[in-house]
Structure 1
Amino acid sequence: MPTEYINTLVVGGGQAGLAMSEHLSSNGIDHLVLERNRIAERWRVERWSSLVANGPAWHDRFPSKEFADCGPDDFPTKDSVVAYLEEFAEEKKVPIRCGVKVSKVTKAADGGGFIVATSDGQIHARNIVAATGPFQIPAIPPVVPAHEGLTQIHSTAYHRPEDLPDGGVLVVGAGSSGSQIAEELRASGRDVYLSVGAHDRPPRRYRGKDFVWWLGVLGKWQMTSPPEGAEHVTIAVSGANGGQTVDFRRFAGNGITLLGMTEAYRDGTLTFAADLARNIAQGDANYLSVLDEADAYVAREGIDLPLDPTARDIGPDPACVRDPILELDLAAKGIKTIIWATGFTQDFSWLDVDAFDAVGKPQHENGVSSEPGVYFLGLPWLSMRGSAFIWGVWVDAKNLATHIAQSGRHGA
């Protein structure tokens, strides 16, 4: 099979790859998008059935297309997001091939680009855009041995309560995914335990505006690096049930038992750090700080937004916070399932180029890698806090396409 030649090859057909295609087309750059499965595959198979987006439709979209099946203040369902990205690809005539896996990218022997081995033959590309996103390999900490007889799954493998074995459920991780899953399981009648680590807990809405609007006007989406010490702090926010502020005290009042960070396992017993009260308090502090900054912004700008007098009402700590559980006999509590909402690791083993440090971390500046002609897109904090979001990846894609157009590497 003869080698195919293309100027820019985009690997990944999710939101990052589609955004990149739009801007490459706008710059007149010949390109191809390869997707090993289907467009938006992770939205299809690695999300639970009731999932909705964490931001309203007016915000979590590309600037060039609105959602067709929900209002601007609604939170799109997972099916809505899949349909949106499919329609976008069709409307923009994205040159995408699905069902094609990239197995290896290496530098061409003559230095003129890269040789790409795929399941559909070999491609020679002058530029490579790694648009495989931040959610690549589900990370499950090696805490509970697999042979212990418990059902252990990552949050990506959870779909609905009735799919789980009978009995109680421990959810480890209280960010957006863990919080929503725990609340859904409790509403289904399950006994639920939720292991809560360090987190930010913004208000869903304040003074008539969604928190994504506040993060915009307060300049937080444009932050170029996380605050020191908060590189891995998760964010507890949800669009479920019409969009509500995540309130762990409310969770406890509804019967969810809160626990500190999961530490170790031995002989059927899990142990937890004595950090629950501190984690809850730090989440409260983050919540109140957003309110303070929002009020200061309103006063400074002289804008007319309604007061929200009950927003600062924080109830008393529940018993599970005041007197935390530090050990949990899983069998005695009837816990038969652990759901690990513990994030992801990245896999760039297919990209054999000089664009990584000694531990395999991509080396780049705003997505432009240390290897000329190789670009990264869709990673958290690529250029700013918003880089991994659908609107943020659009901004980064535009900048990368401009870089390619100005680099002299955009010709045939």
Structure 2
Amino acid sequence: MTVEKVDTLIVGGGQAGLAASEHLSNNKVPHLLVERSRIAERWRSERWDSLVANGPAWHDRFPTMEFADLDPDSFAPRDRIVGYFEAFAEQIAAPIRCGVEVTSLTRLEDGSGFRAETSQGVIEAKNVIAATGPFQKPIIPVLVPAETAILQIHSAAYRNPDQLPDGAVMVIGAGSSGTQIADELARAGRKVYLSVGPHNRPPRAYRGRDFVWWLGALGHWDVKTYDPALEHVTIAVSGARGGHTVDFRKLAAGGITLVGRAETYENGVMRFAPDLAKNIAAGDADYLSVLDAADAYAVREGLDFPEEPEARIIGPAPECAINPVLELDFAKAGITSIIWATGYALDFSWLKVGDFDAKGRPFHKDGVSPVPGLYFVGLSWLSRRASAFIWGAWGDAKNVAEHIAARSR
């Protein structure tokens, strides 16, 4: 059997893998990038049709390539993002090989590198960068029995309202995906119930600057220490329809029935925690805290940004928060579908090297594994808060590529 040998193997042809390829080339490190399907496959097949980026085009990109045909303050649609990554791969002449799935990675017996079993044969490499990203395995909680007549899909499998059977829809999870999908369904004329748990609710923009700009100015992108208490706190922000601040009061006014966290399901009845009002209030407090920090920064830096007192106006609680629905008979409510916008788990089952914690997260320091020659790029909080974002992965990939180059000297 022929064994292909390379200096460095990158696994994954999304934003992290492409960023790693650019920096390896800049450091003159020979490498091969393999992708199980197509470039940016998750953007193609695991996102809904109307999805747009949650950050403006000037921000959600690599520093070395702009969205040439988009207004920098607009929000790139899904297909345009795919095209961007394809064009970037061409720009950097990435040595990418699509349709190659790595099924197993083991250490060579002499410790000199790794052996990758792939769908197209064996590849041996001195270094390996795992760049498969944080959105690997959709999580659907074991709450509603699979044998019920209700259609259950994860947000990764949702495409558009026509995909669902007639009837009302329960959306569980009120981060960016859940709120945008619920809003789309309601605008399409569906009756929608949205389960709202703890969340952060930043302003889309404030005093003439997008919230991603404020995160940078306030140093939040560079925060390095992850707070475990926030692990299940989602961020409700939207680039849909030109970008807007998510306001659960407006969603309720638009016909969506808000409920608390889903707790149990039995005999066709789902029960919810009595925490809806508390969750909305905590989201409001987070929203106002961003405004407070932004105002303080503007004063401290002497910035002549236009004031925006109307941004602090928060309307009354919606009726569904004042008198919450604590249980819902799906048949009586006409609910025929559940969309689980409940996040993802990591899946490194193909990695037979390295150590992982109880949640499958690999041990590393800024992407450098304790196993010599093994690296990670594109994971959430790899080195800082920005790591899972396009430009954040680019910066992490630069550090990893430089580490590999130094190791090869």
Band the TM-score falls in, shorter-chain normalisation: over 0.9
In structure 2, C-alpha distance between the alignment counterparts of 1:72 and 1:29, rounded to whole Å: 33
Query: Residue 34 of structure 1 aligns with which residue?
Result: 34
Query: Residue 62 of structure 1 aligns with which residue?
Result: 62
Query: 2:346 touches 2:360 (CA, 8 Å); kept in 1?
Result: no
CA offsets 1:39-81 (integer angstroms, 9 cap, x no match): 0011011111110000000000000000123110010000010
Query: Residue 133 of structure 2 aligns with which residue?
Result: 133
In structure 1, C-alpha distance between the alignment counterparts of 2:22 and 2:38, rounded to whole Å: 18
Deviation (angstroms), 1:176: 0.3
- Give the 3 Å change call, closer, same or farther, for CA 153–117 of structure 1 in structure 2: same
In structure 2, C-alpha distance between the alignment counterparts of 1:351 and 1:15, rounded to whole Å: 20
Q: Map residues 59-98 of structure 1 onto 2, 5 A cutoff.
A: 59-98=59-98
1:119 partnered with 2:129: no
Query: Residue 10 of structure 2 aligns with which residue?
Result: 10
Deviation (angstroms), 1:358: 5.4
- Give the 3 Å change call, closer, same or farther, for CA 376–240 of structure 1 in structure 2: same
In structure 1, C-alpha distance between the alignment counterparts of 2:26 and 2:213, rounded to whole Å: 28
- Number of aligned residues: 409
1:281 partnered with 2:276: no
Q: Which amino acid aligns with 1:112?
A: S
Q: Structure 1 runs of 4+ off > 3 angstroms? A: 357-360
Q: Map residues 388-399 of structure 1 onto 2, 5 A cutoff.
A: 388-399=388-399
Deviation (angstroms), 1:357: 3.5
Q: Which amino acid aligns with 2:115?
A: I
In structure 2, C-alpha distance between the alignment counterparts of 1:250 and 1:203, rounded to whole Å: 14
CA offsets 1:98-139 (integer angstroms, 9 cap, x no match): 000101000001111001111111111011100000100110
Query: Residue 301 of structure 1 aligns with which residue?
Result: 301
Q: Which amino acid aligns with 1:149?
A: A
Query: 1:52 touches 1:239 (CA, 8 Å); kept in 2?
Result: yes
Query: Residue 142 of structure 2 aligns with which residue?
Result: 142
CA offsets 1:133-175 (integer angstroms, 9 cap, x no match): 0100110001000111000000011111111100000000000
In structure 2, C-alpha distance between the alignment counterparts of 1:358 and 1:379, rounded to whole Å: 16
Query: Residue 151 of structure 1 aligns with which residue?
Result: 151
Q: Map residues 195-210 of structure 1 onto 2, 5 A cutoff.
A: 195-210=195-210
Q: Which amino acid aligns with 1:206?
A: Y
CA offsets 1:198-225 (integer angstroms, 9 cap, x no match): 1000000000000000000000010112
Query: 2:138 touches 2:343 (CA, 8 Å); kept in 1?
Result: yes
Please, what TM-score do these two structures have when normalized by structure 1?
0.98
In structure 2, C-alpha distance between the alignment counterparts of 1:53 and 1:385, rounded to whole Å: 18
Q: Map residues 213-224 of structure 1 onto 2, 5 A cutoff.
A: 213-224=213-224
In structure 2, C-alpha distance between the alignment counterparts of 1:161 and 1:29, rounded to whole Å: 47
Query: 2:204 touches 2:211 (CA, 8 Å); kept in 1?
Result: yes
Q: Which amino acid aligns with 2:246?
A: V
Query: Over the residues paired in the alignment, what is the CA RMSD in angstroms?
Result: 0.9
- Give the 3 Å change call, closer, same or farther, for CA 329–163 of structure 1 in structure 2: same
Q: Which amino acid aligns with 1:9?
A: L
Structure 1: runs of 5+ lacking an equivalent? none
Deviation (angstroms), 1:233: 1.1
Deviation (angstroms), 1:405: 1.2
Q: Which amino acid aligns with 2:202?
A: P
Structure 2: runs of 5+ lacking an equivalent? none
Query: 1:69 touches 1:80 (CA, 8 Å); kept in 2?
Result: no
In structure 2, C-alpha distance between the alignment counterparts of 1:38 and 1:137, rounded to whole Å: 18
1:380 partnered with 2:380: yes
1:257 partnered with 2:252: no
In structure 2, C-alpha distance between the alignment counterparts of 1:359 and 1:48, rounded to whole Å: 27
SS at match of 2:64: coil
Query: 1:174 touches 1:196 (CA, 8 Å); kept in 2?
Result: yes
SS at match of 1:148: coil
Q: Which amino acid aligns with 2:356?
A: F
CA offsets 1:365-390 (integer angstroms, 9 cap, x no match): 11111211111111111101110000
In structure 1, C-alpha distance between the alignment counterparts of 2:221 and 2:31, rounded to whole Å: 30
Percent of matched pairs sharing the same residue: 63
Q: Which amino acid aligns with 1:193?
A: Y
- Judge which range, 349-358 or 171-180, deviates more: 349-358
Deviation (angstroms), 1:228: 5.2
Query: 1:61 touches 1:390 (CA, 8 Å); kept in 2?
Result: yes
CA offsets 1:315-346 (integer angstroms, 9 cap, x no match): 00011001111100000000000000000011
Please, what TM-score do these two structures have when normalized by structure 2?
0.99
Query: Residue 328 of structure 1 aligns with which residue?
Result: 328
In structure 2, C-alpha distance between the alignment counterparts of 1:328 and 1:208, rounded to whole Å: 42
Deviation (angstroms), 1:356: 2.1
CA offsets 1:247-273 (integer angstroms, 9 cap, x no match): 000000111000000111000000000
Deviation (angstroms), 1:231: 2.5
1:103 partnered with 2:96: no
Query: Residue 232 of structure 1 aligns with which residue?
Result: 232
Q: Which amino acid aligns with 1:336?
A: T
Query: Residue 47 of structure 2 aligns with which residue?
Result: 47
Query: 2:12 touches 2:131 (CA, 8 Å); kept in 1?
Result: yes
SS at match of 2:405: helix
SS at match of 1:128: strand
Query: 2:32 touches 2:96 (CA, 8 Å); kept in 1?
Result: yes
- Judge which range, 396-405 or 349-358, deviates more: 349-358
Query: Residue 271 of structure 2 aligns with which residue?
Result: 271
